[in-house]
Amino acid sequence: MEIKVLVVDDEIDFLETIVKRLEKKGLHTVGVTSGEDALIKIKEKYYDVILLDIKMPGGMDGLDALKEIKSRQPLAEVILLTGHGTVESSVEGMRLGAFDYVLKPAKFEELCEKIAQAYMKKSDQDNKIRKANIQQLLRFPGRVFDQE
Amino acid sequence: MSKPMYRVFRQKMIIITLLISFVPLTLLGYTIYYGFAKAYCQRVEQQMTARVTACSQSLDLFLEERKVILSAIAKSGSLSYYNDPSHLRELFETINNQTGGGLVDLGVIDSHGDHLAYVGPYSLEGFNYREQAWFNLVMAKGIYVSDVYMGFRQMPHFVIAVKAGDAAGDWILRATIDPEIFARIVTTAQTGKTGDAFIINSAGICQSPSRFNKKEILAPSGLDPSRFGSSTTVVKKNTVSGLRRVHVGKWINNGNWLLVVTQDPDENLPSFSDMKTEEITIFSLALFAIVVTTVVTTGMSVNKLQERDRELEELNAHLIQTDKMAALGKMAAGVAHEINNPLGIIATKAGWMRDLLEEEAFRNSDNFKEYDGALRKIEEHVERAGKVTHNMLGFARSMEPVMERVNINGVLKKTLEFLDHHAQINNIRINTGFDDAIPEIMSDRSQLQQVFLNIINNAVDAIEKQGTITVETAKNAETLVIDIKDTGKGIPDTVKKRIFDPFFTTKAAEKGTGLGLSITYRIIEKLGGTIRVKSRKGKGTCFTVVLPLTLSKKTIA
């Protein structure tokens, strides 16, 4: 199953390249340059992992976008891209539900590793939810099914 | 303020303080002395006036007594009776016995001026006095006291002459007064070493001997009698030699003679030259005490001031350093952030190029190795630049310390473990002197580790090869003190002033960014502590970190 990744960063050169590299790694990757565009994208499609730059110009910065994403796609794991100057914001972001943060300039290997971890977490979550749904579906009064 | 300026300031303070001490004291002393001298002089004048009054009364009484006796005898006797020398002698002795002496001789002179009878030490019988001024005056006035004159005997004397009359005609009874007895009465008015008393006539001629200036009888006195009024008069004069003289005069003998008492009013007034050894000693001791007290207190004040100035200077330097750090921090954050983004792009692009190189078409290219090498260099330098921006952001970041209970000895041990291998390679011995009794403090463990790592790492660099690093901890009343000493090359004074400045480094460009000690300074400041450095060139350096045992409100905030 293809991992779907959304990258949100206002630096177009960085965005283009990182999208290409992740694509080359076999991930289905889409890039947008603002929080507003990201919200449009997640309406269209479900993403497993979202790479979100904290410091973005315009009306919606990374943390605002995070709140919105989490309210719309609670199961999507968000990795924050941050500079040293915004480490505090990243900590705040993790409090708001982000999976982790990566310091820029990030090493590509480190980034891939974080994406993998985030995806694994999300998969676990999905599995748990799936199992819970199945259990709910098969629950009848007076009968117990083997969960396995 | 420089050292010579403090010396000048100290000298000025001492001079001013001494002036402030001595000038009013001297003025007060002088005022008291002046008031005392004035009162003393007035007292002297009063005493002189009293003596003049008493003495003038004695002299007038002396003359009056003799005038009365002679008048009574002249009126009760006759010329024929006293013409007899035996009667005259008897009278002479009776008068002297009754009055206690005072007559030198006694004579009887007829109306023609012929000296008919004489009792006394001279042989004056037969002399004629018709041409003498006194003779004509007594004949005219009836009674007369002469001024002192030489007369036939050629000795200074004065006479009391009384005119009488009987059947034989007018005659004169004349007595010569003993000038010594008279002078003795006058001298009762003189006192002290400079006191003098004498009589002058209306022409200023001495009628009695003066004690000083060789003023014999009949010599000019040098005084102007007209300056003396009818009552007792005080006249002040300065002598040629500059001494003050007070003259008190009173007219006697019906205004014919002036009794003058004169004295130096300052004679018994104490002066500085009259001071005794004990007084001089006490005065000198007091003077010494004032000078010593002034010098000591001024010295203490100036030292205190110097200390305060130094503290102020340190505080100013600290404030300047803090401001500089804050300004540079902001700038560093901005610059690092702006550089980070392009670096990120370069790194990503380089990564993308490496991804592409992995493809077969490129891998078989002739220039594959060149591309690969170039990419490796780009990645290497991006990483290097990244480290710089990382440090800059570390310096600039305003992340509050995460406070937890920290065992400083433990943090130091852990830090030393990191560097142990590096130190061994360079033959550097690490000594520790940890005070086990120091308590845990509230601080940021990782930031403290960074601080100690920076300092000890610098110590290793300063030693280069072979030396000792000593790390000691100790507890003071309210602080923990951590000393990190090395036996390295030391820091020159010019460098020492700047070691906490950001981007200041003496290391090679690839070895240091010049941010380590700036970050250290900033962290210690945030943790509520202080850091200072002592260094001697060629001997080594000692960094002292002082941390508070308890956090201040400011640090907690």
Q: What is the pLDDT of residues B353-379, one digit of tens each?
A: 888 888 877 787 788 888 888 998 998
Residues of chain B positioned with their CB less than 8 A from the CB of A85 = 333, 336-337, 393, 396-397
The residues, any chain, with a CB within 8 Å of residue B237's CB and separated by 6 or more, are B244, B245, B246, B247
CA distance B551 to B444: 12
Q: Tell me: pLDDT of B25 over 70.
A: yes
Number of alpha helices (DSSP H) and beta strands (DSSP E) in chain A: 5, 5
Place of tokens 């002197």: B433
Residue B502: asked if its preceding bond is cis (omega within 30°), the reply is no
Q: Tell me: pLDDT of B506 over 70.
A: no
With CB atoms and an 8 Å threshold, state whether A83 touches B399: no
Tell me whether residue A91 is exposed, middle or buried, using C-beta atoms within 10 angstroms of its C-beta: 0 to 12, 13 to 18, 19 or more: middle
Contact A87, B397 (CB under 8 A): yes
pLDDT band at A75 (very low <50, low <70, confident <90, very high): confident
Which of these ranges, A15-24, A139-148, B277-286, B317-326, has the smallest mean pLDDT?
A: A139-148
Better-scored residue on pLDDT, B404 or B17: B17
Distance between B341 CA and the closest CA of chain A, angstroms: 7
- Phi, psi dihedral angles at A12 (to 5 degrees): -65, -35
Indicate left, alpha or beta for B243 from its phi (over 0: left) and psi (-120 to 50: alpha).
beta
Helix (H), strand (E), coil (C) string for B146-189: CCCECCCCCCCEEEEEEEEEECCEEEEEEEEECHHHHHHHHHCC
Q: Select from A21, A85, A107 the Cβ nearest to the Cβ of B393.
A: A85
Please name which of B259, B257, B234 lies closest in space to residue B247, comparing C-alpha atoms: B234
CA distance B439 to B547: 12
pLDDT band at B274 (very low <50, low <70, confident <90, very high): low
Report how many Cβ contacts below 8 Å link chain A to chain B. 63
pLDDT at B212: 77
Residues of chain A positioned with their CB less than 8 A from the CB of B341 = 11, 14, 83, 104
Rounded percentage of chain B residues whose pLDDT exceeds 70: 90
Q: Residue A20: closest CA among chain B residues belongs to which residue?
A: B352
pLDDT at A95: 85
Please name which of B262, B266, B164, B160 lies closest in space to residue B215, comparing C-alpha atoms: B262
Q: ipTM value, please give it.
A: 0.75
- Asked if the C-beta of A83 comes within 8 angstroms of chain B's C-beta atoms, the answer is yes
Which of these ranges, A35-44, B208-217, B519-528, has the smallest mean pLDDT?
A: B208-217
- Asked if the C-beta of A26 comes within 8 angstroms of chain B's C-beta atoms, the answer is no
Better-scored residue on pLDDT, B126 or B53: B53
Q: Which residues pair with B118 in a beta bridge?
A: B107
Better-scored residue on pLDDT, A10 or B334: A10
Tell me whether residue B454 is exposed, middle or buried, using C-beta atoms within 10 angstroms of its C-beta: 0 to 12, 13 to 18, 19 or more: buried
Give the residue-averaged pLDDT of B254-275.
79
Please name which of A130, A27, A129, A1 lies closest in space to residue A79, comparing C-alpha atoms: A27
With CB atoms and an 8 Å threshold, state whether B394 touches A106: no
CA distance B432 to B454: 17
Q: Find which of A84, A88, A102 to mutate to test the B interface (most B CBs within 10 Å of its CB).
A: A84
Buried b (16+ CB within 10 A) or exposed e, B479-499: bbbbbbbbbbbbbeeeeeeeb
Q: Tell me: pLDDT of B105 over 60.
A: yes
pLDDT at A148: 47
pLDDT at B474: 93
CA distance B171 to B200: 30
Buried b (16+ CB within 10 A) or exposed e, A106-115: bbbeebeebb
With CB atoms and an 8 Å threshold, state whether B399 touches A21: no
Supply B300's token pair.
């203490």
With CB atoms and an 8 Å threshold, state whether A84 touches B394: yes
Distance between A37 CA and the closest CA of chain B, angstroms: 21
Q: Select from A21, A83, A106 the Cβ nearest to the Cβ of B355.
A: A21
pLDDT band at B238 (very low <50, low <70, confident <90, very high): confident
With CB atoms and an 8 Å threshold, state whether B336 touches A84: yes
Give the residue-averaged pLDDT of B439-449.
84
Indicate left, alpha or beta for B404 from its phi (over 0: left) and psi (-120 to 50: alpha).
beta
pLDDT tens digits, residue range B391-409?
A: 676 666 544 566 778 899 9
Mean pLDDT of chain B: 84
Please name which of B391, B481, B467 lies closest in space to residue B435, comparing C-alpha atoms: B481
Distance between B320 CA and the closest CA of chain A, angstroms: 24
The residues, any chain, with a CB within 8 Å of residue B187's CB and separated by 6 or more, are B197, B211
CA distance B47 to B121: 40
Supply B307's token pair.
């200390």
pLDDT at B417: 81
Q: Tell me: pLDDT of B256 over 50.
A: yes
**Beta strands of B233-311 (E only): which ranges?**
233-238, 244-252, 257-263
pLDDT at B2: 66
CA distance A60 to B556: 33
Q: What is the pTM of this model?
A: 0.45
- Phi, psi dihedral angles at B122 (to 5 degrees): -105, 170
- Phi, psi dihedral angles at B179 (to 5 degrees): -65, -25
pLDDT tens digits, residue range B61-92?
A: 988 988 898 888 888 888 888 888 888 898 89
Q: Residue B390: closest CA among chain A residues belongs to which residue?
A: A84
Task: Find the radius of gyration of the CA atoms of chain B.
Answer: 59
